[in-house]
Amino acid sequence: MKTSIVIALAIAIFLLTIRPTKAEACGGCVAPTGAFTAVNSHRMVIKLGIEETILWDQFTYSGEPDEFAWILPVPSPDTIVELADADFIDVMDRATTPRIFSPLCADAGGCGGGCGSLPDFKALAAEVEVYKHEMVGPYETVVIGSDNSTSLLAWLSVNGYAFPDNNLPIIDYYVAQKSSFLILRLRPGFGVSAMQPVRIRFKGFMGQFPLRMIALGASGVVEMALWIVADQRHEASNYANFTMSGDDVVWDPQSESFGYEESLDRKILEEGGRAWVTEYAQVLDGSELQTLLQEEVPREAAILAANMHFPFVTRLRTRMLVDHLDEDLILIRSEDASDISQDIVATTSVDGSECFQEIQPESTTFSLKDGDIQSALSTALILLALALLAWRRRRITLQTA
């Protein structure tokens, strides 16, 4: 890979069963038998900068606390892990989620074969370099590296991480990219309720995501949401890209829905199951998103905008089969630099009419429209008239008395 191409950055959430395993259980096998599961949905924010790239990642996990771990290929040991505001990604999601309107009329496996010939676990694990070992809030974090993927898997095993060896070729790939590996898990005594997003800082510009790594342990459909903060709109260079419009949604009064998600899945399938939808693309300055960030998560808002003249936010989302996560996602500047609003106006309903009842999406905030204002004024005038009438009657009664 040319040096001008961005180094593999990362997102792969793994739930690795953390159980001490005896080395002799498989005759020195790198990956002991045991359950291996992965989170099948991810919400991530990445800020692409020349001097520094920052990744925010949020964990959603409901299993046992001592069975959670997260591993991430990183470009170098110079990686900083920080706790992020628990509400940050929720705010990003709420402010950029598509809002649909209706139009108004003008009116895991074991070690496999040959494991007995592998060297001793501990000897292999000793070849791994541990660059950093820290406690960050409820998490224990460690950054390790090696030029031997077998040694990496041995280290994971010796330290209580079960890892299926049938994914060794994928680890080989990231080792060949000279990646280090960040591993994070809950500290003893901390429950799942203590989990919160993390903020990870890397030196330099990095815009390549190891989707192949995400496939480890996952099954079926993997859903991902990714917000890119950069100098302009970004998209995938090696996956198809598309947007949603009013022609892609149809109002169904019976189910009270627009069929947005179904249409999204259909369009991904039309692209061979390998595509990302751009649901939002706007300059951050002066936007509703910026206002919400500054009001609700001011620290993250400041980090997001720091050292960027005109930060631009792009929201990408997809649902892909694990089989299609066979290439790392490479982010590039989009040739189409136009803005994309989160608001979509449906063009028709199930009965084919182009004008139908207005339905406000659940994600919108309450606001008074012209009709609401007129109704409120009418109600106020009626109440005022009734109050005046009551006051006048009381005055006449007092005068007569």
**Residue ranges of the domains in the chain?**
15-364
**pLDDT tens for residues 61-81?**
656 667 667 777 877 788 898
Inter-residue contact 55 to 202 (CB < 8 Å): yes
Burial of 103 (0-12, 13-18, 19+ CB in 10 A): middle
Lowest mean pLDDT among 23-32, 110-119, 188-197: 23-32
- State the average pLDDT over residues 266-285: 95
pLDDT of residue 196: 78
Going by pLDDT thresholds of 50, 70 and 90, the confidence category of residue 7 is very low
* Cα separation of the two ends of the chain: 100
Cα(374)–Cα(167) distance, rounded to whole angstroms? 65
Helix axes 149-158 and 168-176, enclosed angle (nearest 10): 120
Going by pLDDT thresholds of 50, 70 and 90, the confidence category of residue 369 is very low
Lowest mean pLDDT among 19-23, 86-90, 167-171, 203-207: 19-23
Give percent of the chain above pLDDT 90.
Answer: 27
pLDDT of residue 108: 33
**The pLDDT of residue 116 is above 80:** no
**The pLDDT of residue 199 is above 80:** yes
H or E, element range at 260: helix 260-270
